Amino acid sequence: MSDWREVTAAERELMRSCGPGEVAIFYGDELVKITSERMLQIYRDAVNAAIKGAAEMLALERADEIESWNVDDFEMGQTFVRVTLTSKAGAQASAIGMIADPRRTH
């Protein structure tokens, strides 16, 4: 999804229609307008799910066993996020968390 593409007139209009507290993001190939609060929540949930998955792969039981974690760069339209976790023992694991469809309310 990192290829450049022209934004259509309809997409430009959708972006311009965003009011305070609203953002337009690409989810897959579709531009979607949502609240900034909703956007933060769906990304937070995806990152948390990926951290949990990586921690389970490393059999970590407590947050203090984690040395560091890294989230891959976000790309336009992505529907998942990958996190790489490093334990204090030096072991690493990566897991993905799905980004919820922002058009859904639950």
For the entire predicted model, the pTM comes to 0.84
Task: Write down the number of H helices and E strands in the chain.
Answer: 2, 5
Cα Rg of the chain (Å, integer): 17
pLDDT, tens digit, for every residue of 52-86? 999 999 999 999 999 999 999 988 889 999 999 99
d(CA 64, CA 83): 17
Q: Indicate the average pLDDT of the chain.
A: 92
Contact assessment for residue 54 and residue 85, using Cβ atoms and an 8 Å cutoff: yes
Q: What is the pLDDT of residue 1?
A: 47
